[in-house]
Chains A and B, each alone.
Chain A
Amino acid sequence: MKLLASLAVLLALSQGGRVLFEDKDGQIRLSNYTTAEGGVEENGEFSFQMEGKPALVESLLDGLGIAGPKMSGAVTPGKAKSKGFINRLDVSGNVRLTLDSEVRFNAINTQLKRQGKPEMAKTESKEVMELVTAQLNYRGGSEQGVFTVPEPFVVRSVSDDISETKVQGKAIRSTLHEEFVVNGRSGAFSLNPGAKGLGRLETGEIKGPVSMEMIRTEKPPEPGKPEITKLLGTADSIAFDLKTSRTITLKGNIRIEGENGLYRGSSEGDMAVITLDENYKPVKIRITGDPTKGTVQDKRGGGKR
């Protein structure tokens, strides 16, 4: 509910906020400011300082919105064959970052329409990620960038999708609801706005104490029963690589608790590596440490630790 409420605020801001700047395609947008100053250099970079209630920077083709009462940064406006991007951004106060698949979808279709190309068909998936903190820094280029969060923060990722599997040649459509929440003291990460679900948290490291909670609900058609997987973890730090190895690694004083699904019970140790499948569903958990204390074992391991 909190996530939905804050998204509604951001949506209202992006629709009705006083626009300071938007690039040619209207994909990079700065708005909702009360005071602002900045400039444009010969290289075309648009630098700015804004204050607002809150001020908002959006990269709509990424579905990205960053709101905060005080921010400074620079954007490179898009050109005919390259999209605009945020070069750097420093936001302080009550900072809220969102990645919204629907905003991204609409922006892509707006651009396709403008280019006279066929629009994308609407999908049934909906993905929203939100980060709340007191300070956020970003340094990036046209393709990739790194967010640094030096203050305590919370990330909430909610995604809804339809998964289709074939059982005896018959297509079975299940709904999938996934929630991922992580709290940390500081961290640095890169995002992939085009990825699904957890994949949007592409790579990074969060320092803690850190806590994470993953709840996946897969609901097959009636009369099938929903499969709910709940995984809780705490550690000194969490590293994630959801781009190549698709792993979440908890390090130092780790504790894993699971209900249903892959892992049931709790374990403590020095390190836990959670491996996810291509749909970011946990398929393997390896816990190491001396000693480790456990009440159960993951489904694929075998034997109690």
Chain B
Amino acid sequence: MMLLASLVLAQSVFTYSDTSRDLRIQAKDGQGTMVESGYRFELRGSVSIDSKKEQFSLRAGKIVADVVSGPIAGGPNQLKAATASLGVRFEQVSPTGSSVLTGSSATYTVQGVGGKLDAKGTVRIVNTNIVKKETLIASGSAITALLDKNSKRGLKSATLSGPVKIELDQAGGQTSRIVFTGRTLTLDGNTIRLSGNVKATGSSASRFGNLGNVDSVTVMLNDKGEMSSFKFRSGGGH
């Protein structure tokens, strides 16, 4: 039985936290109803859901969240599923950095040890490495991401559909960046694959010029999240 440690329905703010004060929910307006093995919260206005254990935070203008008990009695509750809209921001932190995903609307579901986020609208991923440097910024029109606090920069994998754009820091360069554009993008660990009319352009500080209209590009990241190399293919039925 899940413990509802505190549920405050005040005039100006709604807050909830579990007994271990691990999962915290806050909103300008909210209501909770019991569902199978937990609660469903319908939240509006500057909604935030934070999990210390899972090291994530979810922010949006409107969220419907299903919270269930964790495996340990009296331990942290778990966000089982959430449907968010109006300026969604999901941040997953890991020991090697963090990933922030934003979009107009999103659904989150627990999947294995992490979670799956499907976001739509103008979506964006920003990877920040351990020294707080933004090493990757990707954008598209839709994203499916698997988030896991144990994965590199909190992001296990992601698929963006497009048109997509990704900006990457080049390894060895202080400020040099390469911008890739294409139709779809998948990120899996330290490998990024772009396909469909892929173009690459170096920033002003980069010595790289322009790569134009190839079918696919595979980018390798190093452990700092910087681009160490990339390969491309075009034509020939690839």
A-side interface residues toward B, CB under 8 Å?
Answer: 18-26, 28, 33-42, 44, 46, 51, 77-79
Contacts and interface: CB of A to CB of B under 8 A. Distances in A.
A106 to B, nearest CB: 18
A91 B123 CA distance: 44
Interface of B: 171-172, 202, 206-214, 228-236, 238
B216 to A, nearest CB: 9
A28 B212 CA distance: 14
B231 A79 contact: no
15 contacts: A18-B212, A19-B212, A20-B211, A23-B207, A24-B202, A26-B209, A33-B235, A34-B236, A36-B214, A36-B232, A37-B232, A37-B238, A51-B236, A77-B207, A77-B209
A79 B207 contact: yes
Given A39-B229, A41-B229, A21 B212 contact: yes
A42 B228 contact: yes
Given A24-B202, A36-B234, A37-B233, A18 B171 contact: no
B234 A20 contact: yes
A79 B207 CA distance: 5
Nearest to B231: A39
Contacts of A37: 231-234, 238
Contacts of A28: 209
A22 B236 CA distance: 21
A269 to B, nearest CB: 53
A26 B234 CA distance: 21
A35 B233 CA distance: 8
Nearest to A75: B209
Contact of B213 (A18, A46, A78): A18
A40 B235 contact: no
Given A20-B212, A34-B235, A39 B230 contact: yes
Given A24-B202, A44-B207, A33 B232 contact: no
Given A42-B172, A42-B229, A21 B209 contact: yes
Contact of A42 (B171, B211, B212, B232): B171
Contacts of A21: 209-212
A44 B208 contact: yes
Contacts of A25: 209
A232 to B, nearest CB: 45
Nearest to B204: A24
A22 B208 contact: no
A20 B200 CA distance: 10
Contacts of B206: 24
Nearest to B208: A77
A-B pairs, top 4 by smallest CB distance, nearest first, are A35-B235, A39-B231, A35-B236, A23-B209
A86 to B, nearest CB: 14
Contacts of B202: 24, 77
A36 B233 contact: yes
B214 A20 contact: yes
B213 A40 contact: no
A23 B207 CA distance: 7
Contacts of B171: 42
A34 B235 CA distance: 6
B187 to A, nearest CB: 18
Contacts of A44: 207-208
A40 B229 contact: yes
B228 A24 contact: no
Contacts of B207: 23-24, 44, 77-79
B229 A22 contact: no
Contacts of A41: 229
Given A25-B209, A39-B232, A51-B236, 19 more contacts: A18-B213, A20-B212, A22-B209, A22-B210, A24-B202, A24-B206, A28-B209, A34-B235, A35-B236, A36-B232, A39-B230, A41-B229, A42-B171, A44-B208, A77-B202, A77-B207, A77-B208, A78-B207, A79-B207
Contacts of A46: 208
Contacts of B210: 19, 21-22
A40 B208 contact: yes
Contacts of B236: 34-35, 51
